[in-house]
Amino acid sequence: MNSRLNVVLCWHMHQPYYRDGLEGEYRLPWVYLHGIKDYTDMVAHLERHPLMRAVVNFTPVLLEQIDDYSQQIDRFLSDGRPTQDRMLNLLAGVEPIPSDAPGREQLLRDCQRCHAPRMIHPYPPFSRLLRLAGVSEDPAISPDSGQHLLRYLGDQYFLDVLTWYHLAWLGHSLRDHADVRELMERAEDFTLQYRRKLVVLIRDALSGLMARYRALADRGQIELSMTPYGHPIIPLMDSFDNMNCSMPEAPHPESETYPGGEARSEWHVAHGIEVFEQYLGRKPAGVWLAEGGLSEDALRLLDRHGIRWTASGEGVWRNSCRLSGIEPGIIQSKKPLFSPNLNPDASVRMFFRDDGLSDLIGFRYNNWHAEDAVADFIQHLNNIAAFLGAEAEQHVVSVILDGENAWEYYPDNGHHFLDGLYSALESSQRLRVSTFADCAERLPPTALPQLCAGSWVYGSFSTWIGSPDKNRGWDYLVSAKRACDEVLARAGDDEARALQIRRQLAICEGSDWFWWFGDYNPADSVSDFERLYREQLRALYVMLGEAPPAQLDVPLSRGGGQAENAGTMRRNA
């Protein structure tokens, strides 16, 4: 029999912290919407294919928000207490439909925030409702043509649009639910009774999620891994100099360094492990550092916490090979890419994603017929196995991408592609599905003498630092961190207050804010994220008992690019 090539699929589940401060309103609904669509579907696929193995990576701030949503919806269903999410309150009838034209226009815009060809057009009643108001199904197009109609439409119209929007966000695995079939067959005039059924379904889907993933991990089918608590770029918090290897010409922020950054990195890992254990019942063996951001100091940090593996992008591996003086011929052969890599600075194994294969799933196969896409992907893997020959069993192909954002671009939320892919991988005689923990234990590592710090995007940190808007965001954060340090130094033994401050600071340290700063990104998304970033910083200053700086009243980035940011793991939500 031919030697079998190890294959690891790693699904990264991540959403940033969307609340206003630690306990305020949710400004964006993506946690619960991805919860009922992608997190439910992804676990259902694995349950349906018991021989399939994978790694599922969760960020602690996502786990906290999923739990909070399920508790808030449960309280609403128990005693009528409103949730802290406007879209849910509108759906449930505890918040009135706006009566003014701007408010109604915004609601219609909000109910078009999805990929229309896959999530609006397949549902004729949903499409008809939007056409009735004269608004485009493309949220980037102004609805001016129908603005004059909005004041004449009754509240029931908007309630029906809201209901269909939530039905469109339901994952394929929920479509056979009796209440969902009833709602879709009804098609219109969704009374409170019917909408409440949808709210109950959302609650049940969210409240059972973690138990389902835990059950898969308990029986050894999946490995659960994590990202440090607030999804920070740890190499950049440790030192802005970590950008120099891959971005030697890029300007630094005005601040020389992030004050106390290494201590903050330590906190994110330690607190992340605490939260992860609370929800998933185990300490993770592996850590996907936010954005696959690797540096030698980050490796040492993981070592101190007993982490066995981490991972990043192919660009980091290539840059590190060149820095280490490894001959181009070896780089071209890619054999070391398909091995656990070991840097002399730490014992943690490093895996590097095959960018080409990962991006085929993330950005290319969505418009292919599912059978053709599966056959193409399996053929690529078989070609690698043939290339490695008898050595295949000593190597692993790492396919790493978001577990949520690609699927709205696929028919039926990627159901047919993933079902076919898992079936093909389960039955393959040339391929063995595995996990990073298993591969770290079994496979011999390849030496990588020097590590060129970078991320999964281009092997650099250019998506998060080095341009005027991004550097300005870092300077705002540095000022807030200094204010935190002064207050914490006076906090004494008030550990509860200190923890609240550190958590709020952690939210501000998340990578997602910096991701969106820049004029190459779409203006609507930049506006959403930069405004929320400033609000989080403002909430931090208020928590510290200080007046927020006036600069936080002024947008720091405006955007203006296309809706899809080429080369990114995540698409515009």
Cα 1 from Cα 392, distance rounded (Å): 12
- Residue 293 has what pLDDT? 98
Which letter does DSSP use for residue 393 in this model? Answer: G
Fold of 5-22+216-247+258-447: 7-stranded beta/alpha barrel (3.20.110)
| C-alpha to C-alpha distance for 573 and 565, rounded to whole angstroms | 11
Q: Which residues contact 264 (CB under 8 A, 6 or more apart)?
A: 232, 237, 258, 481, 505, 506, 509
The per-residue pLDDT for 66 is 98
Angle between helix 415-427 and helix 370-388 axes, rounded to 10 deg: 30
DSSP state for residue 149 in the 8-state scheme: G
Q: Which residue has the tokens 């577990």?
A: 403
Q: Which two tokens stand for residue 384?
A: 């690698």
pLDDT at res. 558? 77
Structure tokens at 564: 């899809």
Q: In whole angstroms, give the CA distance from residue 382 to residue 5.
A: 8
- Find where tokens 């047919």 sit: 416
**Mind listing the pLDDT tens digit for each residue in 88-143?**
999 999 999 999 989 999 999 999 999 999 999 999 999 999 998 876 545 444 44
Torsion, Cα 226 363 418 272, to 10 degrees, reads: 10
Q: What is the pLDDT of residue 143?
A: 46
pLDDT at 147: 56
- 8 Å CB contact between 359 and 313: no
**Gap between the Cα atoms of 134 and 386, Å rounded:** 56
pLDDT < 70: residue spans in the chain:
1-2, 135-148, 328-332, 560-573
Q: What is the pLDDT of residue 180?
A: 97
Concatenate the DSSP letters of all residues of 131-148 into one string.
Answer: HHTT--SSTTS--GGGGG
pLDDT at 569: 47
pLDDT score of 571: 39
pLDDT for residue 202? 98
Q: Give the separation between CA 364 and CA 31, rounded to whole angstroms.
A: 25
